[in-house]
Amino acid sequence: MFNVGDMIIYSTHGLCKIDDICEKKFRDKERTYYVMHPVKDPNLTISAPVEDNQTNMWTVMNKEEAKEILHSFQFPGVEWIDNARERNKKYTSYVHTGNRQKISNILNTLMKREIKAKENGHKVSDLDHKLLESVQNIMFSELAVSLDTTYEEIASKVNNMIRQTV
Protein backbone atom coordinates (compact mmCIF):
# COMPACT_ATOMS: atom_id res chain seq x y z
CA MET A 1 0.00 0.00 0.00
CA PHE A 2 1.17 3.50 -0.78
CA ASN A 3 1.19 6.44 1.62
CA VAL A 4 0.10 10.06 1.46
CA GLY A 5 2.87 12.06 -0.21
CA ASP A 6 4.21 9.12 -2.25
CA MET A 7 5.04 9.67 -5.90
CA ILE A 8 3.80 6.80 -8.05
CA ILE A 9 3.23 5.87 -11.65
CA TYR A 10 -0.49 5.47 -12.27
CA SER A 11 -1.67 3.85 -15.48
CA THR A 12 -1.85 6.30 -18.40
CA HIS A 13 -1.74 9.36 -16.14
CA GLY A 14 1.94 8.79 -15.40
CA LEU A 15 3.69 10.40 -12.47
CA CYS A 16 1.18 11.19 -9.70
CA LYS A 17 1.36 12.31 -6.10
CA ILE A 18 -0.93 10.72 -3.52
CA ASP A 19 -2.70 13.51 -1.64
CA ASP A 20 -4.97 11.44 0.58
CA ILE A 21 -6.16 7.95 1.41
CA CYS A 22 -9.76 7.93 2.54
CA GLU A 23 -13.03 6.06 2.69
CA LYS A 24 -15.61 6.92 0.03
CA LYS A 25 -19.01 5.56 -0.69
CA PHE A 26 -19.84 4.74 -4.31
CA ARG A 27 -22.94 2.81 -5.36
CA ASP A 28 -23.76 1.99 -1.74
CA LYS A 29 -20.35 0.37 -1.22
CA GLU A 30 -17.73 1.96 1.01
CA ARG A 31 -14.15 1.44 -0.06
CA THR A 32 -10.71 2.89 0.59
CA TYR A 33 -9.45 5.19 -2.16
CA TYR A 34 -6.19 6.81 -3.13
CA VAL A 35 -6.79 10.46 -3.95
CA MET A 36 -4.02 11.74 -6.20
CA HIS A 37 -3.14 14.21 -8.91
CA PRO A 38 -0.85 13.93 -11.94
CA VAL A 39 2.29 16.00 -11.43
CA LYS A 40 1.80 17.57 -14.88
CA ASP A 41 -1.84 18.43 -14.14
CA PRO A 42 -2.25 19.42 -10.48
CA ASN A 43 -5.85 20.54 -11.13
CA LEU A 44 -6.95 17.01 -11.99
CA THR A 45 -7.96 14.85 -9.03
CA ILE A 46 -8.06 11.08 -9.42
CA SER A 47 -9.75 8.73 -6.96
CA ALA A 48 -8.74 5.11 -7.37
CA PRO A 49 -9.87 2.21 -5.18
CA VAL A 50 -6.92 0.80 -3.26
CA GLU A 51 -7.77 -2.87 -3.82
CA ASP A 52 -8.44 -2.49 -7.57
CA ASN A 53 -5.28 -0.68 -8.55
CA GLN A 54 -2.39 -2.92 -7.64
CA THR A 55 -1.82 -3.68 -11.32
CA ASN A 56 -2.15 -0.06 -12.49
CA MET A 57 0.09 1.60 -9.91
CA TRP A 58 3.84 1.29 -9.53
CA THR A 59 6.43 2.78 -7.25
CA VAL A 60 8.77 5.24 -8.91
CA MET A 61 12.00 3.52 -9.88
CA ASN A 62 15.02 4.08 -7.69
CA LYS A 63 18.16 5.92 -8.81
CA GLU A 64 20.11 2.77 -9.73
CA GLU A 65 17.27 1.37 -11.82
CA ALA A 66 16.85 4.75 -13.50
CA LYS A 67 20.55 4.82 -14.42
CA GLU A 68 20.24 1.32 -15.93
CA ILE A 69 17.15 2.30 -17.89
CA LEU A 70 18.81 5.48 -19.17
CA HIS A 71 21.89 3.49 -20.21
CA SER A 72 19.69 0.96 -22.09
CA PHE A 73 18.86 3.55 -24.77
CA GLN A 74 22.34 2.95 -26.20
CA PHE A 75 21.30 -0.56 -27.25
CA PRO A 76 18.70 -2.04 -29.63
CA GLY A 77 15.08 -1.95 -28.52
CA VAL A 78 12.46 -4.60 -29.23
CA GLU A 79 11.84 -6.49 -32.44
CA TRP A 80 9.75 -4.53 -34.96
CA ILE A 81 6.40 -6.07 -35.86
CA ASP A 82 5.34 -5.14 -39.39
CA ASN A 83 1.57 -5.27 -38.81
CA ALA A 84 0.64 -1.96 -37.13
CA ARG A 85 -2.36 -3.28 -35.19
CA GLU A 86 -0.51 -6.35 -34.00
CA ARG A 87 2.50 -4.20 -33.08
CA ASN A 88 0.36 -1.77 -31.10
CA LYS A 89 -1.41 -4.58 -29.28
CA LYS A 90 1.86 -6.32 -28.37
CA TYR A 91 3.72 -3.14 -27.37
CA THR A 92 0.76 -1.87 -25.34
CA SER A 93 0.58 -5.19 -23.50
CA TYR A 94 4.26 -4.76 -22.54
CA VAL A 95 3.57 -1.24 -21.30
CA HIS A 96 0.75 -2.47 -19.07
CA THR A 97 3.10 -4.85 -17.27
CA GLY A 98 4.87 -1.91 -15.66
CA ASN A 99 8.25 -3.50 -16.49
CA ARG A 100 10.42 -0.42 -17.04
CA GLN A 101 13.06 -2.29 -19.05
CA LYS A 102 10.45 -3.58 -21.52
CA ILE A 103 8.86 -0.15 -21.67
CA SER A 104 12.18 1.57 -22.35
CA ASN A 105 12.94 -0.99 -25.08
CA ILE A 106 9.62 -0.20 -26.76
CA LEU A 107 10.28 3.52 -26.44
CA ASN A 108 13.75 3.00 -27.87
CA THR A 109 12.37 1.21 -30.94
CA LEU A 110 9.57 3.71 -31.53
CA MET A 111 11.92 6.70 -31.22
CA LYS A 112 14.34 5.15 -33.74
CA ARG A 113 11.50 4.39 -36.16
CA GLU A 114 10.22 7.95 -35.90
CA ILE A 115 13.69 9.39 -36.59
CA LYS A 116 14.16 7.11 -39.62
CA ALA A 117 10.69 7.96 -40.93
CA LYS A 118 11.37 11.71 -40.68
CA GLU A 119 14.72 11.31 -42.41
CA ASN A 120 12.89 9.65 -45.32
CA GLY A 121 10.14 12.28 -45.41
CA HIS A 122 7.54 9.98 -43.85
CA LYS A 123 5.59 9.76 -40.62
CA VAL A 124 5.04 6.86 -38.25
CA SER A 125 1.49 5.55 -37.94
CA ASP A 126 -0.95 7.35 -35.67
CA LEU A 127 -1.03 4.32 -33.35
CA ASP A 128 2.77 4.35 -33.07
CA HIS A 129 2.88 8.10 -32.53
CA LYS A 130 0.25 8.04 -29.77
CA LEU A 131 1.99 5.18 -27.97
CA LEU A 132 5.36 6.89 -28.39
CA GLU A 133 4.11 10.17 -26.90
CA SER A 134 2.36 8.51 -23.99
CA VAL A 135 5.24 6.21 -23.04
CA GLN A 136 7.83 8.94 -23.57
CA ASN A 137 6.02 11.40 -21.30
CA ILE A 138 5.65 8.88 -18.50
CA MET A 139 9.16 7.39 -18.81
CA PHE A 140 10.98 10.72 -19.09
CA SER A 141 9.04 12.18 -16.14
CA GLU A 142 9.83 9.16 -14.00
CA LEU A 143 13.51 9.18 -14.97
CA ALA A 144 13.71 12.90 -14.17
CA VAL A 145 12.27 12.39 -10.68
CA SER A 146 14.43 9.33 -10.01
CA LEU A 147 17.61 11.05 -11.15
CA ASP A 148 16.74 14.42 -9.59
CA THR A 149 16.87 16.31 -12.88
CA THR A 150 14.44 17.77 -15.41
CA TYR A 151 12.27 16.20 -18.08
CA GLU A 152 14.09 18.31 -20.66
CA GLU A 153 17.50 17.04 -19.53
CA ILE A 154 16.34 13.42 -19.78
CA ALA A 155 14.78 14.05 -23.20
CA SER A 156 18.01 15.58 -24.44
CA LYS A 157 20.16 12.71 -23.14
CA VAL A 158 17.89 10.02 -24.54
CA ASN A 159 17.53 11.74 -27.91
CA ASN A 160 21.33 12.05 -28.19
CA MET A 161 21.79 8.35 -27.37
CA ILE A 162 19.08 7.31 -29.81
CA ARG A 163 20.51 9.44 -32.64
CA GLN A 164 23.94 7.87 -32.13
CA THR A 165 22.53 4.39 -32.67
CA VAL A 166 20.19 5.07 -35.63
pLDDT of residue 96: 87
Partners of 21 in beta bridges: 34
The CATH number of the domain holding residue 47 is 2.40.10
pLDDT exceeds cutoff 80 at 143 = yes
Chain centroid to Cα 67, Å, comes to: 16
83 & 149 share domain: yes
Q: Taking 70 as the threshold, does the pLDDT of residue 5 lie above it? A: yes
CATH code, domain with 127: 1.20.58.1290
pLDDT, tens digit (0-9, with 9 covering 90-100), for 29-84? 899 999 999 998 999 999 988 987 667 899 999 999 999 999 999 999 999 999 99
Q: Are residues 113 and 73 in the same domain?
A: yes
Q: Residue 128 and residue 116: Cα distance in Å, rounded?
A: 13
The confidence score (pLDDT) of residue 51 equals 84
Higher pLDDT, 122 or 28: 122
Give the structural domain span for 16: 7-59
**How far apart, in whole angstroms, are the C-alpha atoms of residue 40 and residue 141?**
9
CA gap 48, 32 in Å, rounded: 8
8 A C-beta contact, residue 31 and residue 24 = yes
Question: How many domains does the chain divide into?
Answer: 2
Q: What is the mean pLDDT of residues 81-97?
A: 93
Residues 67 and 51 in one domain: no
User: Is residue 2 situated within a structural domain?
Assistant: no
pLDDT of residue 53: 66
pTM above 0.75, yes or no: yes
47 and 73, same domain (yes or no): no
